[in-house]
Amino acid sequence: MTLLAIDHIQLAMPPGREPEARAFYSGILGLSEVAKPENLAKRGGAWFAAGDLKVHLGVEQNFVPARKAHPAFRVANLPALVEHLKASGVDVTTDEPLPGYDRVYIADPFGNRIELLQPAG
């Protein structure tokens, strides 16, 4: 048995808030929405992708945001992205340096923590 790669990450979201998910993940982060298979679409939520990066948002009735556990997305031009996020009304938090990386944290509309990082220099 060999693990090869992460296929996708899944984050939870509250029921009925798909428009906010689309506005954030597509509108602000620039991911494309991917149609969910018909048998899964009835559960709600939304799927997004950019190349090999895939984010699935699943509806959780008793939703609690992930404030510690989080995905970390490697990005190009972190400073420009930070300015875009701030201009879009997203709070950006700088954390302690990570050796070899510049990084910040944001939260999606539901309070899920997301790390954005870029190799330093």
Among candidates 78, 71, 118, 68, which has minimal Cα distance to 98? Answer: 118
CATH at 20: 3.10.180.10
Is position 24 within any domain? yes
User: Is residue 30 in some structural domain?
Assistant: yes
What are the backbone angles phi and psi of residue 84, rounded to the nearest 5°? Answer: -60, -45
Dihedral sign for Cα 100, 50, 32, 68, please: negative
Q: What is the pLDDT of residues 7-26, one digit of tens each?
A: 999 999 999 999 999 999 99
Per residue in 29-73, pLDDT tens?
A: 999 999 999 999 999 999 999 999 999 999 999 999 999 999 999
- Encoded amino acid at 55, one letter: V
For residue 20, give the nearest of 116, 120, 111, 113 by alpha carbon: 111
Q: What is the pLDDT, as a whole number, of residue 51? A: 95
Q: What is the spatial distance between Cα 7 and Cα 23, in angstroms, rounded to a whole number?
A: 23
Give the residue numbers spanning the domain of 83: 9-119
Q: How many domains does the chain have?
A: 1
